[in-house]
Each structure stands twice: as C-alpha cells, then as structure tokens.
Amino acid sequence: MKPFLAVLVLVPTTLWLTSTVASAQASAAPGQRVSVGTDSRTGHRYVRIAGHGAPIYPTLDLACDGKRWTLAFTRLEDGAVYELSRANVELMLNSVECRLFLPDQDVTLAREQLWAAWAGPTQSSGAPPMLVGQVVDVIDGNTILVNLGDRSETVRYIGIVSQENRRPASPEAVPGDALQANRQMVARQQVRMEFDTAARDRDGRLLAYVYVADQMVNAELVRRGSAEVMTVQPNVRHRELLVALEQEARDNRRGMWADPSEPTTPTTVEPARQVTEARRGVPATENGWSCPAAQPIKGQYTTYTGGGRCVYHLPDGERYSASKADRCYATVEDAREDGCVAARR
C-alpha cells in the first residue's frame, strides 16, 4: 500500500489541500507546483516548490498573524525544499492565518489545511476552533473581557487558577500579582482564543487557551508562578505542558512559590539511602494524580531521604486536587513515619 501524502495545490490566491497517494500536483503557474509535507527520514515539515523549470528561490518568506520570518532553501529533492523548525510549525498550527510570499504572488495557507497536513500523532487531525478578539478589560488573574466585533464575551483561561481566585493571599504574597501579570500581557491586546472540548463553563463564560502573538498566556502565568494548574475535564489538551511549567515554577520558587516555608522539589538531590523496607504507603496511580480509596492521603515529592522533604495532603485540603502524589497513605501517622510533614494548605 502506498503511503498517504497530503498535498497542497497552488492557485493564484489560495493554497488548497487535496489528498492523494500519488505525487502528482496541479500547476499554479507553467512548470511550478507547491506542496507541504513531512520528511519520513527526519520528521521535518517542509514547503516544496517543484515542477519542470520551476525556479529555486534562495529564501521564502512566511507570515502568520502578523509575525514574519524567512525560510532558507535546504536541498533539491524533486523540487526546492524549505524546512520549518518545530517552533515555527507550532506557530503556524496555532495561527488564524498564514501567508507564503512568492516573488509573483502571495499564497494564503488555511489553518484547517495545515492541520490536516501537519498535525502530530498526539493532536487531532482537525484544527481546534479559534476566535480572534480585542481585550477590553482584565477582570482578574485568569479572566478577561474580549470584544469579538458583534458582541463581547467573558473568557476564562483553561487549565489554571490564579492565586486570588484559589485562596486568600498569604502574608508574604504581593496582592494583585496575578492580576498585574495578566494585565501586563493582554491589556488592550489582540488575542487568539483556542477552544477545547467544552466551550463554556456553567456560568456561561467562554473557556479558552489565550494567545498574544505566539505566547500562550495560560502557560506563561503558570511559568511565572502567578497561577497554578487546575484541571477540569474534559478540557485537558495542554495539561501536560501546564503541569511541567508549574513544577518548574515551584523548583525555582517563582511567584506564589517564593514562600521559603513552602517546600518544593529539590533541584539537586543527594543519593538516597536504601530505605525501601521501612517505607509506608503505596505508589500513587494515574501518574500521581490519584490515590486508592484505602490510602487517600497524598505524599508529594520524590525525595524522602538525603535532606529532601515530603509534604502530605489530606483529601479535604485546599491543594489536594492540584497536588501530584509520589506515595499514598492510609493514615496521617503512616505519612509522618515515612518522613512527610503536613502541608500548609
């Protein structure tokens, strides 16, 4: 069976996607064809201009949502091939519109077409719904008001909760940090809003991953320590990224994690002594996000010896649902005997 190839066919103003098992492509101009694809050997995505007598340009310019960059010619292989970096592929997939600039014409690259050709194995083959609007008000650290032209919508960031919405600020925290960080990034900016499975919450607010240029605001707030992860099913598309960024913020004591009395994962760990026989509790399930019903207490962090610390979270604790466990315990005594101390929240 011949491999499936996604081909983009160039016409004077728009690049259309067709699906074929052959390499034939319609001509955009005499002797010239344009396609996009993936190199099976390297996994690199590319733009290719091919055809009898087709010109080889030293560079090609691309622009997505106003951001423009240049692709350099890389090789001649059934046409002139211009490779894209992984970051640029992600930028293109997350943009509303991209354009390819040739010396004699501009070509619109439709978002749905690029997703059909380039979406990875962990992504849907269809582009997630997206809207573009203007921020007219920053309500709090994870909510904005956006003008969509024909209406205004309150938009809640997916996957995160800011400090002031999660709990009262601690004495060490600077009031309004999350609000100020959010305002700094999005106030009066044009934003792109990418939706997940559920488009609205029970209060009728839109739920979105919000982008300014190529930066996802949800992720940046977590990276700065201005917000923490709060997963609400079924909107989990970028959960792994957000969890990783929260751990980075905790390790580096950024923002809300700067309180020295709040333990964080050590960035360097002394070799652990062999204490397996003395360990209490059982390993966590579902990659650390769930504990068995008989051992509901979460013990967080991987280091229990060599100077590290463990914190235990009770099921009714404020941070329980947002905490990833390394071990689970039936009783507080078991957790304490395993070296854990009570969480502050």
pLDDT in tens, 71-81: 999 998 888 99
Q: Are both 247 and 332 inside the same structural domain?
A: no
Q: What is the pLDDT of residues 41-63, one digit of tens each?
A: 888 888 888 887 778 899 999 99
What pLDDT score was predicted for residue 31? 60
270 occurs within a structural domain: no
Contact 17, 8 (CB under 8 A): yes
**Residues 6 or more apart from 179 whose CB is under 8 A from it?**
138, 140, 141, 162, 164
33, 48, 111, 156: which is the annotated catalytic residue? 156
CA distances in angstroms from 240 to 230, 247, 285, listed in the order given:
12, 11, 16
β partners of residue 125: none
For residues 216 and 200, what is the distance between their CA atoms, to the nearest angstrom?
A: 19
Q: What is the pLDDT of residues 325-334, one digit of tens each?
A: 888 888 888 8
What pLDDT score was predicted for residue 208? 95
Q: Are both 94 and 186 inside the same structural domain?
A: no
Q: What phi and psi, each to the nearest 5 degrees, are found at residue 278?
A: -95, -5
β partners of residue 327: 283, 299
Q: Are both 284 and 333 inside the same structural domain?
A: yes
Q: Decide which of 39 and 269 is more confident.
A: 39
83, 164, 194, 246: which is the annotated catalytic residue? 164
**Greatest mean pLDDT range, 164-173, 199-208, 278-287:** 199-208
Domain that holds residue 304: 276-342
How many domains are contained in the chain? Answer: 3
β partners of residue 153: 146
Q: Are both 171 and 81 inside the same structural domain?
A: no
Token pair, residue 227, equals 């917000």
What pLDDT score was predicted for residue 259? 61
- What value does the mean pLDDT of the chain take? 76
147 occurs within a structural domain: yes
124 occurs within a structural domain: no
Last residue in a domain, options 60, 95, 118: 118
What pLDDT score was predicted for residue 218? 95
Q: Are both 107 and 18 inside the same structural domain?
A: yes
171 occurs within a structural domain: yes
Q: Are both 109 and 146 inside the same structural domain?
A: no
Q: What is the pLDDT of residues 292-327, one digit of tens each?
A: 888 888 888 643 333 346 788 888 777 787 788 888
Q: State yes or no: is 156 an active-site residue.
A: yes
99: left (phi over 0), alpha (psi -120 to 50) or beta: beta
Average pLDDT over residues 101-106: 83
Q: Are both 79 and 10 inside the same structural domain?
A: yes
Q: Are both 28 and 58 inside the same structural domain?
A: yes
264 occurs within a structural domain: no
205, 253, 279, 336: which is the annotated catalytic residue? 205
pLDDT band for 140, please (50, 70, 90 cuts). Answer: very high
Average pLDDT over residues 274-280: 49
* E strand or H helix at 88: helix 86-93
Q: State yes or no: is 164 an active-site residue.
A: yes
Last residue in a domain, options 95, 118, 141: 118
For residues 206 and 235, what is the distance between their CA atoms, to the nearest angstrom?
A: 12
For residues 181 and 224, what is the distance between their CA atoms, to the nearest angstrom?
A: 9
What pLDDT score was predicted for residue 30? 57
266 occurs within a structural domain: no
Whether the pTM exceeds 0.85: the reply is no
* E strand or H helix at 335: helix 332-337
196 occurs within a structural domain: yes
Contact 212, 218 (CB under 8 A): no
pLDDT band for 165, please (50, 70, 90 cuts). Answer: low
268 occurs within a structural domain: no
Last residue in a domain, options 84, 118, 152: 118
Q: Are both 65 and 109 inside the same structural domain?
A: yes
Q: Are both 321 and 210 inside the same structural domain?
A: no
User: Is residue 287 over pLDDT 80?
Assistant: no
Q: Are both 141 and 211 inside the same structural domain?
A: yes
Q: Are both 88 and 152 inside the same structural domain?
A: no
CATH code, domain with 193: 2.40.50.90
